[in-house]
Structure 1
Amino acid sequence: MPVYFYWGEDDFAIEKAIALVRDRILDPLWTSFNYTVLPPDLPDAPIQGLNQVMTPPFGTGGRLVWLANTTLCQQSSENVLSELERTLPVIPENSYLLLTSSHKPDERLKSTKILKKFAEFKEFSLIPPWKTELLMQSVSQAAQTVGVKLTQSSVEMLADAVGNNTRLLYSELEKLRLYAEGSNQPLDTEAVAQLVRNTTQNSLQLAATIRIGDTARALGILIDLINACEPPLRIVATLIGQFRTWLWVKLMVESGERNSQVIAKAAEIGNPNRIYYLQKEIQYVSVQQLIASLPILLDLEVSLKQGVSEMSTLQTKVIELCQVYQRT
């Protein structure tokens, strides 16, 4: 297809995909003639992009027109809709239109429906921080791409360190590649611990510390996360996901369910083998405690989105959560 629509929150993955498209389509000698980037603040950017993509490429290679951070699938005028319907079916051979957005296309809009007929849509979403199996799979795939050999323990440690930050993952892997240059041995956890930053605290560890009611340590982890520039809303999203998973597992177990695959499906856990460890984690936690956690977390999320003081609100809610789990 001559039209591509890339969307999602993983901006680094989108950048890599754009680079692949650019390298495949453009001749380096003719890039300045055949490559156009139109920013979202440019007046009539969609119209300009559609007009330019209709121009056959100069010299060798193809033409690429990129509508960056477009709002075309969030809002569009009748004039733009008319141009889309007129232009997309007749884009010349070797001319390509690329659209990117951090927002999910609105399926209800006519512009989205028109693009769906002619464009290849691809999502680049961030892996939820609590989906550890997918994070480890992402680390393994990225390590293979970069050319770094890791032990399974190293993969787990790196996944804990970088979470779903794809840009940081590739940055750390490049560091590890340089360190291991000339060696065919997989890097162990000692090497990862020495070279990779932020390997000590993450939001899942914060959840685990809250679960045992250790207020002092939980506040310490929270401070470390904020100092490491972890976005507060991302911290909360991880906590909500983790406590929700624990609650589902606890409810299923207490209802008498013993089939790990059934429990995993209900809790939306990809790997049923993980159920055993989750059951161990919540062995001494009650359903009532887990249920009581969710309103606190949801109130925290709403407060942060309303612009309250982030640090003081986070600290207050972490203390409240720890009090729920403190044994009397």
Structure 2
Amino acid sequence: MTVILYWGDDDFAIAKAVSTIQQSALDPAWMSFNYEKISPDREDAAISALDSAMTPPFGMGKRLVWLADTTLMQQCSEGLLAELERTLPQIPATTILLLTSKNKPDGRLKSTKTIQKYANVQEFSLIPPWKTAELSQRVQIVAKELGLKLTSDAIELLAEAVGNNTRQLYLELAKLQLLAGEGKQIDRAMVASLVTANTQNSLQLATAIRIGDVGTALQLITELIDRNEPALKIVATLVGQFRTWLWVKMLLDAGEKDDRVIATAAGLGNPKRLFFIKQELQATTTDRLAASLPKLLDLEFNLKRGGETTSTLQMHAIELCQIFRL
């Protein structure tokens, strides 16, 4: 495919995909002549990319033109749209025009429809932290890619530990590969001994809040910040955990008995986790869990507005603990 569009907020996954294209399409001896990355702050970046894409490669290999962080699928002038419609069908097979964007393409725009008509489109979005089944599946896919064998409980623990951080997943699997050696299966004990589980600490924070333990919650916040865990990632884990608890509690209150039905509705990859979740929820109510979510959204909003990280997390943690101490 001559035109490729990668979009999504998983920067590491996109970078790996771009590297794969570079290795397969470019001849190392001619790379300086045939590879061009055009940044979004460059004047007339899109026009420059289209013009460069029409230039035949020098020497061996193909030509790769990368229009990075483009906004063509969010806004596009009539003149630029006309240039897209004229150029994209004419790009030679010896050239690859690569478009990347963090934002989801706006399907209503003519520019998006034009690009999708000629491009091979692939999404690289981060998996929401509460979709544990998809996170575990992602671990399995990457492990298979690296030729590693993991037990099912090792996969689950690793997914919980790294969350949706693709870069950390590759790093942790590389370390586990060295620890296990050639052909040896990686079990839960290996993962627990080697992987720093900041996500697990965030889940411990959620538990401390659910039981109204202010002291432990504040201590865990300090530990997470000291480990340079991003505040918004902490909040995402909290939102996912409280959303899971709320779903399970609501279904139990409604009289649902089938664990598989509950697990599917709550987004749990492993129905066996319900045994422990049910025990966790015995001492709380649906109303308290429901009241926590607006507080968590308010916390996220304040952090995105530039609130001081530690104090903002601590203040909201205290408020959340008070909900469960009433």
Deviation at 1:321, TM superposition (A): 1.3
In 2: Cα distance, 1:58 partner to 1:308 partner: 52
| Distance (whole Å) between structure 1 residues aligned to residue 66 and residue 84 of structure 2 | 15
Deviations 1:131-180 (A, max 9, x none): 22222222222222223333333333322322211111111222222233
Partner of 1:285 in structure 2?
284
Q: 1:65: Cα distance to partner? A: 0.7
- Name the aligned partner's letter for residue 139 of structure 1: V
Q: Which residue number corresponds to residue 92 of structure 1?
A: 92
* 1:104-123 → structure 2 map (5 Å cutoff): 104-123=104-123
Q: CA deviation at 1:5?
A: 0.8
Map of 1:179 onto structure 2? 179
Distance 2:265 2:150 in 1: 32
Deviations 1:63-95 (A, max 9, x none): 111001112112222221111010011111221
> For residue 80 of structure 1, what is the aligned residue in structure 2?
80
Q: Is the 8 A contact 2:71 2:101 kept in 1?
A: yes
Post-superposition offset of 1:315: 0.4
Q: In structure 1, what residue type is equivalent to 2:314?
A: Q
The alignment of Structure 1 onto Structure 2 pairs a total of residues equal to 326
Matches of 2:60 and 2:227, distance apart in 1: 47
CA deviation vs aligned residue, 1:206-246 (integer Å, no higher than 9, x gap): 21221122222222221222222222222222222221221
Counterpart CA distance in 1 for 2:38 and 2:18 is 14
What SS does the corresponding residue of 1:282 show, helix, strand or coil?
helix
Q: Please, which moves more after superposition, 270-279 or 205-214?
A: 270-279
- Which deviations, in whole Å up to 9, do the C-alpha atoms of 1:9-59 show, x marking residues without a partner? 111111111112222222223222221111111111110110111122222
State the Cα deviation string for residues 224-278 of structure 1 (Å, max 9, x = none): 2222222222222222222122112211221122233443444344555544443
Name 1:322's counterpart in structure 2: 321
Report the Cα offset of residue 60 of structure 1. 2.7
Amino acid at match of 2:96: Y
Q: Which amino acid aligns with 1:210?
A: I
The amino acid across from 1:246 in the alignment is: W
* Cα distance in 1 for residues equivalent to 2:52 and 2:64: 9
Structure 1 residues 135 and 266: CA distance shift in structure 2, 3 A? closer
5 Å-filtered alignment, 1:6-45, equals 6-45=6-45
**Aligned ranges 1:184-223 → 2 under 5 Å:** 184-198=183-197, 201-223=200-222
Residue of structure 1 equivalent to 2:140: 140
TM-score, structure 2 normalization: 0.91
Q: Is the 8 A contact 1:157 1:199 kept in 2?
A: no
Displacement after TM superposition at 1:297 (Å): 1.4
Q: Which residue type is aligned with residue 41 of structure 1?
A: D
Letter in 2 for 1:185: K
Letter in 2 for 1:45: A
Contact 1:251 1:287 in 2 (8 A): yes
Distance across 2 between alignment mates of 1:53 and 1:291? 53
The amino acid that maps onto 1:101 is S
- Distance of 1:71 and 1:231 partners within structure 2: 27
Secondary structure (helix, strand or coil) at the match of 1:66 reads strand
Q: Give secondary structure in 1 for the equivalent of 2:37.
A: strand
Which residue identity lines up with residue 124 of structure 2 in the other structure?
Answer: F
Distance 2:236 2:163 in 1: 13
The amino acid across from 1:115 in the alignment is I
Q: Structure 2: how far apart are the matches of 1:190 and 1:254?
A: 36
CA distance in 2 between partners of 1:179 and 1:272 (Å): 30
Q: Is the 8 A contact 1:198 1:228 kept in 2?
A: no
Amino acid at match of 1:231: P
Question: Residue in 1 aligned with 2:54?
Answer: 54
2:282 partner SS: coil
- Are the structure 2 counterparts of residues 36 and 147 from structure 1 closer, same or farther at C-alpha, using a change threshold of 3 Å? same
Separation in structure 2 between the aligned mates of residue 68 and residue 179 of structure 1, nearest angstrom: 37
Check conservation: 1:153, 1:188, Cα contact below 8 A: yes
| Comparing 135-144 and 196-205, the one that deviates more | 196-205
Q: CA RMSD in A?
A: 2.2
Secondary structure of 2:237 counterpart: helix
Q: Unmatched 5+ residue regions in structure 2? A: none
CA contact (8 A) 1:264 1:275 kept: yes
Partner of 1:166: 166
- Structure 1: runs of 5+ lacking an equivalent: none
TM-score normalized by structure 1? 0.91
Deviates more, 1:51-60 or 1:198-207: 198-207
Contact 1:63/1:95 (CA < 8 Å) preserved in 2?
yes
For 1:60, give the aligned amino acid: M
> Equivalents in 1 of 2:258, 2:9: separation in Å?
35
Q: Which moved more, 1:73-82 or 1:116-125?
A: 73-82
Q: Which moved more, 1:148-157 or 1:9-18?
A: 148-157
